[in-house]
Amino acid sequence: MSRKEVILELKNVDKRFGGVHALNNVSFSVKRGEVHAIVGENGAGKSTLMKILAGNYQPDSGKILLEGKEINFSNPHQAHEAGINIIYQEFYCFPALDVVSNVFAGKEISHSLFLNDKKMRALACDVFNRMGVNIDLNANVGNLSIADQQIIEIAKALVYEGKIVIMDEPNSALTDKETKALFDLIVRLKEQGITILYISHRMEEVFQICDRITVLRDGGYIGTWDKNEVDVPFAISKMIGRKLDEAFPKIVDLKVNDNPILEVRNLNAAGKLADINFSVRPGEVLGFAGLEGCGIRELFHVLFGIDACDSGEVLLNGQLQHIHFSTGAINSGIGLIPANRRDHGLIMRWSIKENISLVILKKLLNFLGLTNQSRINTLSSEYIKKLSISTSSADKAVLDLSGGNQQKVVISKWLATQPKVLLLDDPTRGIDVGAKSEIYLLIQELAKNGLAILFNSSEIDEVLGLSHRVMVMRQGRIIKDFQHEEADKHTVLRYVSGDILGTQQRESVKQNC
Partner 1 sequence: MGQLFKLKKKVRDEADSVETGLNNPGRKFHFDEVGVLAAVLVMVLLLSFGSPYFFSVSNLLKVGRQVSFYGLLTIGLSFVIGSGQIDISVGRIITLVTFVMAWLMDKGMNPWLAFCLGIMLGALCGLLNGGLSLVFNVHPMIITLGTTNLFWGLAVGLSNAKPIVIWQESSFLELGPGKIAGLPVPFFIFIVVAIIGHILLKKSVFGRHVLAVGANKQAAVFAGINEKRIRLSVMVMSGVVAAIAAGVLLSFFQTFDPNVGSGMEMDAIGAAVIGGADLNGGYASVLGAFLGAFLIGILRNGLVLMGVGAYWNNFVTGAVILIAVAVSTVLKTQRKS
Q: Binding of partner 1 at residue 345 (CB under 8 A)? A: yes
Choice from 80, 413, 468, 477 touching partner 1 (CB under 8 A): 413
Q: Specify the stretch interacting with partner 1 by CB under 8 A; choose among 21-29, 31-39, 360-368, 488-496.
A: 360-368
Choice from 75, 184, 325, 441 touching partner 1 (CB under 8 A): 325
Q: Are 147 and 174 in contact (CB under 8 A)?
A: yes
Choice from 117, 354, 445, 481 touching partner 1 (CB under 8 A): 354
Side chain identity at residue 305, one-letter code: G
Q: Binding of partner 1 at residue 424 (CB under 8 A)? A: no
Q: What is d(CA 168, CA 415) in angstroms, rounded to the nearest whole number?
A: 32
CA angle 305, 148, 291 (to 5 degrees): 55
Q: Binding of partner 1 at residue 6 (CB under 8 A)? A: no
Nearest approach in angstroms of CB 361 to partner 1 is 5
For partner 1, the closer of residues 304 and 482 by Cβ is 304
Nearest approach in angstroms of CB 344 to partner 1 is 5
By CB under 8 A, how many residues form the interface with partner 1? 34
Q: What is d(CA 14, CA 23) in angstroms, rounded to the nearest whole number?
A: 5
Q: Specify the stretch interacting with partner 1 by CB under 8 A; choose among 20-28, 68-76, 212-220, 355-363.
A: 355-363
Side chain identity at residue 490, one-letter code: H
Nearest approach in angstroms of CB 421 to partner 1 is 15
Choice from 106, 271, 318, 369 touching partner 1 (CB under 8 A): 369
DSSP 441: H
Q: Which residues 6+ apart lie within 8 Å of 400 measured at CB?
A: none
Q: Are 70 and 10 in contact (CB under 8 A)?
A: no
Nearest approach in angstroms of CB 359 to partner 1 is 5
Residue 291 phi, psi dihedral angles, 5° rounding: -80, 165
For partner 1, the closer of residues 75 and 371 by Cβ is 371
The closest of 452, 456, 344, 475 to 407, measured between CA atoms, is: 344
Q: Binding of partner 1 at residue 351 (CB under 8 A)? A: yes
Residue 355, by phi and psi: left (phi above 0), alpha (psi -120 to 50) or beta? alpha
Choice from 54, 182, 336, 479 touching partner 1 (CB under 8 A): 336
Q: Binding of partner 1 at residue 406 (CB under 8 A)? A: no
Nearest approach in angstroms of CB 137 to partner 1 is 27
Q: Binding of partner 1 at residue 65 (CB under 8 A)? A: no
Choice from 105, 348, 500, 501 touching partner 1 (CB under 8 A): 348
Q: What is d(CA 350, CA 15) in angstroms, rounded to the nearest whole number?
A: 27
Q: What is d(CA 45, CA 59) in angstroms, rounded to the nearest whole number?
A: 12
Q: Specify the stretch interacting with partner 1 by CB under 8 A; choose among 28-36, 268-276, 289-297, 370-378.
A: 370-378
Residue 43, by phi and psi: left (phi above 0), alpha (psi -120 to 50) or beta? left
Q: Are 151 and 103 in contact (CB under 8 A)?
A: no
Q: Binding of partner 1 at residue 378 (CB under 8 A)? A: no
Choice from 230, 247, 397, 501 touching partner 1 (CB under 8 A): 397
Q: Binding of partner 1 at residue 362 (CB under 8 A)? A: yes
The closest of 416, 425, 406, 459 to 304, measured between CA atoms, is: 425
Q: Specify the stretch interacting with partner 1 by CB under 8 A; choose among 130-138, 166-174, 364-372, 469-477.
A: 364-372
Helix axes 146-158, 176-191, angle to 10 degrees: 0
Q: CA-CA-CA-CA torsion for 14, 19, 22, 28, nearest 10 degrees?
A: 30
Binding mask 290-309 for partner 1 (x = CB under 8 A): ----------------x---
Q: Binding of partner 1 at residue 259 (CB under 8 A)? A: no
Helix (H) or strand (E) holding 452: strand 452-456
Instruction: Give contact residues for partner 1 (rule: CB under 8 A).
Output: 306, 325-327, 329-330, 336, 338, 343-351, 353-354, 358-359, 361-362, 365, 369-371, 373, 376, 393, 395-397, 413
